[in-house]
Structure 1
């Protein structure tokens, strides 16, 4: 079962993989949040998410949100704001992300320099870094209200008060690049997630005065469409670990990068 995550929660990229599993574990927890907003770009293809929503109609709301489209983000913010019980949102999990470009011949794995151009770099940067920035901007007032209702900032920060969790990756670590590059070059993915890390640090500095915690979590190498069939971590174990780590976060974790097992990762 998921660890205790209270209040209202928004999860992006909820139609499959880690996002879908996070929503499922939250919804099926004995201490489920009061409201779960499952955001995804393609509502027509989100069959598993729709089935989950049918099992939890009073708890789970599906929201269309394309993180690469500022208009879609603004509209999703309005929709969520209209449905929030008290106008406050306790937690945003920025999970939506893309990888690429795909292999264009047998000699070049995805994301190598040989198959990477301007478009690939820009597309991943927009989705993986700009999107989470716009979401933080658009939904900030709901987080502020949640933090205000929890009392003075001196009482501490947590995911049950108000928080943004950015799903990052070990591959975003500049310090770890020499260790990880050979197994996964992936220029656009690494660079865009490194940008997400800086965004995390900036938001952590900016939002801490409101009592809003911001940090990043590496979910592990997970067996998903993105991670591939050889990944050693299941979506179930990854999501369980992520939710447990989030339940333990305090102000000392603000602006940090950790993995799904609670270990710190250097920037």
Structure 2
């Protein structure tokens, strides 16, 4: 049976959809959530602000624009100040966009779409992980109880979870391309998968787990109302998977039920 997640957890894109549901379900565990979004005071973050009232003292809302390096740096500084001597146990890179709208065929996709999607879906998570690395290292070093055990990596110790997509799988692309071409989105998630793989190799010396998870086709603004999966079920599944991850899962791409997806 999987254990509950705990410690300090940072979630990007936390004001709606999967990100909001992640915050909601994590707030019920023994964790403090740093919920990041672009406009914390805006109307789009009202549901997130309501959660801070529902779970007093468990959620800190942090302003973060994942397309802006200065904003990422300021958010990291704000989190570092609040955490103090503690470390960051889990970073969930959830924020992402899809442009132009699905099915996004070649004829509708331009350079601006490709660059904007890549910046938010790939460069943002890359920079966030890079800047938060000292806090993740601190968490890994603090947990001395598992330091001498064979299986050192877990999301309760120190980990990065990149929310990826089945659409980023190069091998599976021929099976689902006709349904949704999505050139910018597919390319960005394939690149995020490589960032995941690279960081998993780089950060394993610090005992930091890095894994990518596909949340399924979920009913959100991005997924649309035809999607078969609710945010509640998707997030419940992903958190169960996260709580059971270990060394063997580092650098993998899994779905919300724990099945491995080929690159």
TM-score (norm 1): 0.94
Q: Give the match's secondary structure for 1:158.
A: coil
What CA deviation, in whole Å up to 9, does each residue of 1:103-122 have, x standing for no partner? xxxxxx54210011111100
Q: CA deviation at 1:85?
A: 4.9
Equivalent residue, structure 2, for 1:4: 4
What CA deviation, in whole Å up to 9, does each residue of 1:42-82 have, x standing for no partner? 21120000000112221100001010000000000000001
Q: How does 1:174-213 map to 2 (within 5 A)?
A: 174-213=170-209
Q: CA deviation at 1:3?
A: 5.6
Work out the number of aligned pairs and report it. 257
User: Does the 8 A contact of 2:3 with 2:244 survive in 1?
Assistant: no
In the alignment, the residues of structure 1 paired with residue 238 and residue 133 of structure 2 have an alpha-carbon distance, to the nearest angstrom, of: 22
1:32 aligned to which of 26, 30, 33: 30
What CA deviation, in whole Å up to 9, does each residue of 1:164-216 have, x standing for no partner? 00000000000000101011110000000100000000000000000000010
In the alignment, the residues of structure 1 paired with residue 222 and residue 183 of structure 2 have an alpha-carbon distance, to the nearest angstrom, of: 15
In the alignment, the residues of structure 1 paired with residue 164 and residue 45 of structure 2 have an alpha-carbon distance, to the nearest angstrom, of: 23
2:239 aligned to which of 220, 237, 243: 243
Say if 2:173 is the partner of 1:167: no
Which 4+ residue blocks in structure 1 deviate beyond 2 angstroms?
Answer: 151-155
Equivalent residue, structure 1, for 2:248: 252
Q: How does 1:1-267 map to 2 (within 5 A)?
A: 4-28=4-28, 31-33=29-31, 35-43=32-40, 44=42, 45-102=44-101, 109-151=102-144, 152=147, 154-267=150-263
User: Does the 8 A contact of 2:126 with 2:195 survive in 1?
Assistant: yes
Superposition RMSD on alpha carbons, in Å? 1.3
User: Does the 8 A contact of 1:100 with 1:110 survive in 2?
Assistant: no
User: Does the 8 A contact of 1:128 with 1:196 survive in 2?
Assistant: yes
